[in-house]
Structure 1
Amino acid sequence: MDLLAQSLRHAFIDQRQLGHAQYDPELIINQPDENIFLLNTLQEELDTSETFTFSVAFVTESGLNTLKTHLFDLHQRGIKGRLITSNYLDFNSPDIFKALLKIPNLEVRISDKEAFHAKGYLFEHKDHTSFIIGSSNLTNHALKTNYEWNIKLTTYHHGAIIHQMQAHLDKEWASAQPLTEDWIEAYANSFQPPKYRDTSILLDPAKNFIVPNKMQQPALDSLIELRQNGADRGLVIAATGTGKTYLAAFDVLETKPEKVLFIVHREQILHSAMASFKRVMHTEPDDLFGFYTGNKKDSQAKYIFATQQTITRDQHLHQFDPEEFDYILVDEVHRAGSASYQRIFDYFKPKFLLGLTATPERTDGYNLYELFDYNIAYEIRLQDALEADLLAPFHYFGVTDYEKDGELISETTQLKNLILDERVNYVMDKLTYYGLDKDKVKGLVFCSRNEEAKSLSDKFNARGYKTVALSGSDSQEVRTKQVNRLTSGLLDYIFTVDIFNEGIDIPEINQVVMLRNTQSSIIFVQQMGRGLRKHDGKEFVNIIDFIGNYKNNYLIPVALSGNSNRSKDAMRKTTVNTNFISGLSNINFESIAKERIFDSINAVKLDSMKELKEAYLGLKNELGRVPMLIDFETTNSFDPYLLANKKDNYPAFLASIKESDNTLSKAANDILKFLSREILPGKRAHELVLLNELAKESVDTLSLAKIQTILAKHDLSHDPITVQSVVRTLSTDYYAGSSKKTYQPGQVVTIVDEGITLSPGFQSAKKDSTFLHHLNDLITTATLLNDGYDKSSDLTLYQKYGRRDALRLLKWETQLVDQNIGGYTQDKARKIFTIFVTLDKGDDFTGAQVAYEDALLDPQTMTWFTKAPRTLASPEVKILQDADDWQIHMFIKKDDDEGTEFYYLGEVTPDVSTITQLEKPSGDGETRNVVEMNLHFKETIPRNLFNYLQ
């Protein structure tokens, strides 16, 4: 009772009193800029509930989609819930009632109350009940983007308010009608949708002419500026569906060329491209537009739309004068490295060349940016396009692929197992649960091989679907015919492997199904992008991704976030915190599918020379110069720490890939090696500020008083203990054991009476301009990384630290070897206690090792065990029994697969009433004394991190 009473005092009597996050009343307002949504709270409450009841007037399919994976996971745990809704104003469509009927653990009833307008969500937990009441219906807009007010309250099960609510809900439930197929059929017959339905019109009705959108206008302005500055070519990088073809047409309208050539990779896109141009240049007569393809040669037209396959042939290429076209546009220009495209670029000499692509990244070494003189006229990627409302919102469902007898679908699964009837039925069940109804769906299914696509199409057809499989062997005419059948409703799905990755425009697509391994983040985005074009009447697109036991699952968060820096921690955060996506789009994973992604992240090696070299060359091509570490960080293209530490330092890495000669002295290399490993992560700003000062030509000694002044100018702590910690780091005196041996040759300073002096190695190295260039790059990069840390505190909540980092930043005088720390250590003089917990320790315990059962109980409490053997009389236990004047810092990681770093979860306080001495079995068959206790976190663990660590 104390915790709830504490929260009530905090909320209603005195805000200065500390509350308890789990019980604190909370006003919930959607704040997209902060990634705070009512949806987050609903999902968190659902995930931990034992049963739930929703009472909401309005429900939409997009609103229900945000909760489907959570409801599925609850179903797997045997947890059921209730939903009361209505037919008030005919807002709820028959389709949403059909979708609700498919949720097996959700019982739905329809209130017949006139003007039913309730909006409440109740969640029963083991020891308390939470409820949310306010203005939000179960719609995507209300849960994410609308300005809504909702209040969350928590009560124990015997509270009066919850009894009132439950009694009212039970009464309402008893008087409401059960949702049945017969009820839906009767409702559909009389249904008249209101004019103000909660949906988005995603494409303006056709007009006689159009104007540039949010992407096209700034891109046009940039192209005009390029030409004014004398450029004769430019590259536009824009996500699929943002209107690149219209942009090209607008720019042609602006420049008024005498003759234009528009080159595409596939004939299928030519007709829609010409239609887009005609719509923009609506005053131009039709006879000025022509095709140059295998079947048609309108070489005299003013605006020629040609396929690359045709015009690249010599007999066609030489039909034209090299300077015949004032303006040439190339769609999907990322293909420009091929010999056929090179013939085109080498032959024609236009006044202006425009390249269009959604994916400029190349793995073949070709430098697309160089072709366009590094003139990037405009760039808008997926996240930005969603935020600008240029694309249809998407609902991504990461679902678990089929498993039989412990065998998971993987890269090596034989065809016969991919097309098993059991897998087909499993896939169809998932599509029924997550997807659109058969009479509404217009979908693409991406498979791993053509044989699988054909067999699955046949099996879907045998079960009542209308589908076809297409491959590269099908002619353009066949493909066009089948696409037309899909868009007209004569087909439900087209099964394929990769022929629809690009070069095709089907705005009607409203569902994309991925039944294959994610080969690359580029292909993932291309395939997902097939459904992102807006279309009249399309509210959203479903992306249903079947996640097997694939090695490349780690690429899923990379693709969804657009973050390609190869940081494992960033990948984990993206998978856990899926609310980063803009607007009305949503990302949700089933829990088992999420675990498969984590397994892939843990297992993958991201610092192979192949990966590093590809990342390096990719950025070098984009910049047109050798990139520095800061370039990788500012472009978010790769983790600079991986690049700097693959070899001894970044100059050594450049030398290893033959990009430069490492002419640095041994001392300079040793210094950069030390700084790259220990200082580059930017976990503390003090060393960076001091390094900047020491790099100055005039500086060779600094007094401790001067160091304090320097740190104070940067608003950094500068007490004597902090100053000693900083100088002992740069002198390498802090380090011990193998670390000391490794780092001592790279020491920056030596400690002298009342100050520091430059080490001989650093004194010599800073005379070398190349060394200073790399040193400044390292400092600048680390300073940028330090922006993610709290400069007013030694440690930053929820950042990751290794044991060595943690003790250094907590100002231990000397490093303790990890083995000597084990699970915890303490500085008795300063009364600082640090605890390092690995929650999943595995099953391999030998000798005297004890199978500790440390566990997070809730976001503010954990159970923790001391080392063995320990008793209530052991020194550290006595400290914890009377720890009021101690700082106790908690660091936790999920398992050893995460590496050597732990999440810092802040300070904890022992619950003295729970401190108990126990006997625990050990690996040698004996039992050993340990002490168990509960620890309370001073700061509540964010729910997403808590769920991940569990």
Structure 2
Amino acid sequence: MDLGEKELIVNSEAGNLLTELVESIQECERFYFSVAFINFSGLQLLLDPIKEAEKKGTKGKIITSTYLNFTDAKALEKLKEFSNVELKVFVTDKEIGFHTKAYIFDYKDHFKVIIGSSNITQSALKSNIEWNVKIISKEEAHFIKDVIKEYNNLWEMSVEADHDFIKRYEEFLERFKKSNHAQNIIYEDRKYVVPNRMQRRATENLERLRSYGENKALVIAATGTGKTYMSAFDVKSFNPRKLLFVVHREEILKKAKETFELLLPNEGYSFGLLTGNHKQKHVDYVFTTIQTISKYFHEFEKDEFDYMIIDEAHHAASPTYQTILNYFEPKFTLGMTATPERSDSRNIFDIFDNNVALEVRLHDALEDELVIPFHYFGITDIESVDLSDVDIDDIAEITKRLKVNERVDFIVEKMDFYGHDGDKRKGLGFCASIDHAQYMASEFNQRGYKSVILHGGDSSEKRQLYINKLEDDHDELEFIFSVDIFNEGVDIPSVNTVLMLRPTNSPIVFIQQLGRGLRKFRNKIFLTVLDFIGNHNKTFLIALALNGSRYYDKESLKVAITTGFANIPGATHIQMDKISQERILEQIDRENFNSMRYLKEEYNEFKKLNSGRIPYLLVDFLKYDGAPDAVKFIDKEKTYLQFVAKVEKDDSLKKLLLNDAFEGALKELSCKLPLKRIHEFVIIRYLLDHDSIDVEIAKQQILKLVKNVDPDTILHAFECLNQNYYDSGQLKTKPKLFNFSDGKLVKTKTFSVLLEHADYRKYIVDVISYGIFRYEKEFRSDYYGMPHFKLYEQYQMIDAALLSNYRKIHSSFRGSGLLVNGNEFFLFVDLHKEADVKESINYQDKFISRSEFQWQSVNSTTQQSERGKNIIYNKQRGVNLHLFIRKYREIDGKTEPYIYIGKGNSVQFEGDKPITVRMELENEVPSSLYTEFTKKV
């Protein structure tokens, strides 16, 4: 940045004040801060750079204030630990407020000053709407002289924050909290309780499903995201005469009843509990446990309830739930779950008629602020713990190597350094084995940190006892060490610290363990996650988990790591030390994510999480946040079943696949995954139970899942299923499953016969269900117009033919970088022209900025040709230029997809054969994607 230049710093995808402060502390010779408030949530994010500055001998002065009592005494105490920081506090009174937010950095030959709106809190540094102006100037400039003079005046007016001052301030805050405790109570007026974004989406989707005759649906959302509120909003809209709310555990029943009473106060309904202790059967809205209703259901009429809610619906496949679900005949049944795993061979999706009204996973929940932010610190483990030559599944050996006194000291040191939110530490430590957990609890107890161990063999009473003790602010218990029991289903809302003490061998388990601390809770601001990263060969799985995308490639992962996971929403902060970063980047470079060896490992790891059962169905991979991308298995062997048969050496599967018609049908359906248009699979789903379908029925079926549909697109889908646009090679090798004539699409005899066979039908239905569920997850119910492209989604060239209703052979849509369908021009661009030669970049096709792109036509195009004129005068001629970009043509031997970045309009052009065109993009590319396209790793 040039001297005298000014820059506005805002918190956005492109960057934030925290990044600027960290960089400045690392590079300056001295620093001076003056901020009205310092919260521990913000200070924790600056601890490492301040510590580094201390090691280098970089000194700093910090002034904060007691204004409005917002500064944490704990933050002041923490700052006193640094020998390089002098700390003063401006003590305010009623007359004088203190509002400064200034960060001054002294370099060898200039000053950098940042003045604006941000205090030191996690939100101000990362996610709030804040304006801060950065100015770089020479020391002799008037502005710098004024700033330093004012800072020195403030320094003189402030008092030294010694331990005595901090103690008195802390005692004052305690008294203040007690006398003003009412201020901490959230004011909840039922008139003003409005649905959040997730709840609105769910209720809209439920309304649409019901409007097309559906009477069951499932909502999948992370713990603590407000599913009960969402169900109450939907009940309010549905307005049932009688309601049955069924839960698995009694402790959440009263809270659910209170939520409904809050949101439905004036509807004239009575509410009651039907449990072991309460028998209020004759009320309008009955809240019951599965244990109680399974004893009393015969006392109710089958159609007694208009609306039934099954909470924790992943239990719905069990016999007790099945009895209830089969007995009652409500007008609508809603299932709610955080993890839709199967509890036996019955699929939970089937139970709710394959209608998923909504799915909210961790990244969505962070984005919608349904859970609290987390501060993740990836810390390189001590050298004496060497896991480089040990199999990650050899738990006994891993346990032996982790049971090191020196490691416990290191963990305690880091834990004390980073601290935690709130007064009492409430921690969960995830260990490799029971033996490891016992060792950790024993060592922590010896060091004065009261700890216990819980594992799968403990009774639910024992678990509840220790959970209650941890939750209690006045109990000494600080840590529960466990193996896997807290991965899902156990809720400890007040947890503020998570220790990852074992090698991560599964992104799914990592996300589940992280999720244990993300529940919103009174006065809880953030979760501290300390992950002790060893040198085992699967360290990169942490990056997969944190990146939050099931569908990743090497390049996007590497960019995420080097940018500190800039794509993660809100005030969440992810920081890995340099050694861990380099170790993970090296592993990613070495790993081939498309090799059979890697895919087998990924599959086997998932199988372990599936209770060791073979995941025969594709929909099994939709159960968990962080599950592998099942389409990779299909790409390897043409069908998922073929992959399973090969890995499992399963003779019964191999025998099934000997039927050419069945294998051909599976291949034909599987090659369409992942779906970019849902129409074909919705039509096929209808034809599983009907002989034929016309455009009108197809429209009704499609509108259950998407908000709008073009009649011509339905017709095009019929034509595609009739194989109208296959080339001669495809027609020879692909089985004919449907015939289209006289306005109807009809099943062929081949397909009908396959569906009569129970096993064939099961696997065909699975491919259809997976395709539809995954489409809903990625595209939701939105309508994208014609052509049907979603911004920043991945596409192959041939997808452009399908999604623009191209009525010639689709396989011709490949080869050249420009493909045309009428006035729709599709520009496919490789930023790096040669695979695997990263230095060989054709600089003619490039981003000029996030809103401008330079593109070069093929060598034969002239400005005088019709095609040339259509490109350079596209707007005047009504031509749409659609841009699809990818960084590399292929990675690890596999062709990469393109990313759709929307339409561009030519604003400048030069040259002939080829023409170089400068385009203005209709949509500014998000900064995280722009970084991914343009950053070299």
Change (3 A) 1:28 1:587: same
Give yes or no for the alignment of 1:442 onto 2:419: no
User: C-alpha displacement at 1:307, in angstroms?
Assistant: 5.6
> Which among 41, 47, 52 is matched to residue 68 of structure 1?
47
Rounded Cα–Cα distance in structure 2 between residues aligned with 1:941 and 1:320: 56
What are the residue-to-residue correspondences of 1:519-918 with 2, within 5 Å? 519-577=505-563, 578-607=565-594, 608=596, 609-610=599-600, 646=636, 764-765=728-729, 778-781=796-799, 796=831, 802-803=835-836
**Superposed displacement of residue 234, structure 1:** 0.0
Judged with a 3 Å threshold, the aligned counterparts in structure 2 of structure 1 residues 105 and 406 are, in CA distance, closer, same or farther, namely: farther
Pair 1:281–1:162, CA change in 2 (3 A): closer
CA contact (8 A) 1:453 1:495 kept: yes
Q: Which residue of 2 aligns with 1:728?
A: none
In 2, are the aligned partners of 1:548 and 1:596 still within 8 Å (CA)? Answer: no
Q: Is the 8 A contact 1:61 1:95 kept in 2?
A: yes
TM-score by length of 1: 0.60
Q: 1:246 to 1:173 in 2, by over 3 A?
A: closer
TM alignment of 1:21-40, pairs within 5 A:
25-30=6-11, 32=12, 34-40=13-19
Pair 1:155–1:801, CA change in 2 (3 A)? farther
Asked whether 1:244 is paired with 2:227, we answer yes
User: Contact 2:618–2:640 (CA<8 Å) still a contact in 1?
Assistant: no
1:121 paired to 2:103? yes
Which of 388, 400, 405 in structure 2 is aligned with 1:421?
A: 405
> C-alpha displacement at 1:237, in angstroms?
1.6
1:449–1:111: structure 2 CA closer, same or farther, 3 Å change rule?
Answer: same
Return closer, same or farther for 1:152/1:769 CA change in 2, 3 Å cut-off: farther
Distance 1:362 1:235, change over 3 A: same
2:211 match: 228
- Tell me the amino acid that sits aligned with residue 353 of structure 1: T
Deviation at 1:236, TM superposition (A): 0.6
Amino acid of the residue matched to residue 224 of structure 1? E
2:314 is the alignment partner of 1:330: no
Q: Which residue of 2 aligns with 1:475?
A: 459
Cα deviations across residues 513-539 of structure 1 (Å, max 9, x unaligned)? 332333433333333223323223222
- Deviation per CA, 1:716-765, whole angstroms, max 9, x where unpaired? xxxxxxxxxxxxxxxxxxxxxxxxxxxxxxxxxxxxxxxxxxxxxx9743
**Aligned-partner Cα distance in 2 for 1:53–1:469:** 45
Q: Give the one of 61, 66, 78 matched to 1:99.
A: 78
Amino acid at match of 2:504: T
Q: Which residue of 2 aligns with 1:499?
A: 485
Structure 2 CA distance, aligned partners of 1:250 and 1:458? 48
> Measured at CA, do residues 641 and 532 of structure 1 come closer, stay the same or move farther in structure 2, by a change above 3 Å?
closer
TM-score (norm 2): 0.61
Partner SS for 2:540: helix
Q: Does 1:379 align with 2:359?
A: yes
Q: How far 1:48 sits from its partner (Å)?
A: 4.1
Question: C-alpha displacement at 1:652, in angstroms?
Answer: 10
Distance 2:479 2:895 in 1: 47
Q: Which amino acid aligns with 1:457?
A: A
Q: CA deviation at 1:185?
A: 1.1
2:38 to 51, 59, 63: 59
Structure 1: runs of 5+ lacking an equivalent: 13-23, 196-200, 619-623, 681-761, 813-891, 902-939
Instruction: Supply the distance in 2 between the matched residues of 1:63 and 1:186 (Cα, whole angstroms).
Output: 23
The Cα shift of 1:192 comes to 8.6
Deviation at 1:190, TM superposition (A): 4.2
| Compared CA separation, residues 947 and 430, structure 1 to 2 (3 A) | farther
Tell me the residue number matched to 2:612.
none
Q: Structure 1 808/148 Cα, relative in aligned 2: closer, same or farther at 3 Å?
A: closer
- Does the 8 Å contact 1:102/1:433 carry over to 2? no
Between the aligned partners of 2:604 and 2:323, the Cα distance in structure 1 is 26
Instruction: Give the partner amino acid of 1:517.
Output: P
Counterparts of 1:641 and 1:352, CA distance in 2: 33
Q: Which amino acid aligns with 2:224?
A: G
Contact 2:240–2:307 (CA under 8 A) maintained in structure 1:
no
Do the aligned partners of residues 216 and 811 (structure 1) sit closer, same or farther apart at CA in structure 2, a change above 3 Å counting? closer
CA RMSD of aligned residues (A): 5.7
- Distance (Å, rounded) in 2 between the aligned partners of 1:643 and 1:404: 38
**Aligned mate of 1:352, from 316, 328, 332:** 332
Partner of 1:432: 416
Q: Distance in 2 between matches of 1:636 and 1:374?
A: 21
1:85 equivalent to 2:70? Answer: no
Distance 2:458 2:380 in 1: 32
Corresponding residue number in structure 2 for 1:43: 22
Q: Which amino acid aligns with 1:427?
A: I
> Is 1:219 aligned to residue 237 of structure 2?
no
Q: Secondary structure at the match of 2:275?
A: strand
Q: Which of residues 385, 389, 396 is equivalent to 2:369?
A: 389
Residue type of the alignment partner of 2:121: T
State how many pairs are aligned. Answer: 700
Tell me if the contact between 1:121 and 1:132 (Cα under 8 Å) persists in the aligned partners.
yes
Does residue 180 in structure 1 map to residue 198 in structure 2? no
> How far is 1:231 from its partner?
1.1
Q: What SS does structure 2 have at the residue aligned with 1:67?
A: helix
Question: In the alignment, what sits opposite 2:87?
Answer: 108
Cα 1:219–1:417 shift into 2, 3 Å: same
Identity of aligned residues (%): 36
Does residue 134 of the first structure (1) align with residue 116 of the second (2)?
Answer: yes
1:463 equivalent to 2:443? Answer no
The one-letter code matched in structure 2 to 1:65 is: Q
State the 1:782 CA deviation: 7.9
Check whether the contact 2:34–2:62 (CA below 8 A) recurs between aligned residues: yes
Is the 1:323–1:349 contact (alpha carbons within 8 Å) kept by the matching residues of 2?
yes
Q: Measure, in 2, the Cα distance between the counterparts of 1:626 and 1:150.
A: 49
Deviation at 1:330, TM superposition (A): 2.8
Q: Is the 8 A contact 1:576 1:944 kept in 2?
A: no
Measured in 2, the distance between the counterparts of 1:160 and 1:109 equals 26
Match of 1:404 among 371, 384, 402: 384
- Structure 2: tracts of 5 or more residues without a match: 178-182, 610-615, 647-652, 677-725, 738-770, 772-787, 789-794, 804-813, 819-824, 846-886, 897-926
Q: Does 1:151 align with 2:133?
A: yes
Q: Following TM superposition, by how much is the alpha carbon of 1:427 offset from its aligned partner in structure 2, in angstroms? A: 1.7
Q: Is the 8 A contact 2:9 2:134 kept in 1?
A: yes
| 8 Å Cα contact 2:30-2:107 kept in structure 1 | yes
User: Partner amino acid for 2:333?
Assistant: L
Deviation at 1:355, TM superposition (A): 1.6
CA displacement at 1:429 relative to structure 2: 1.9
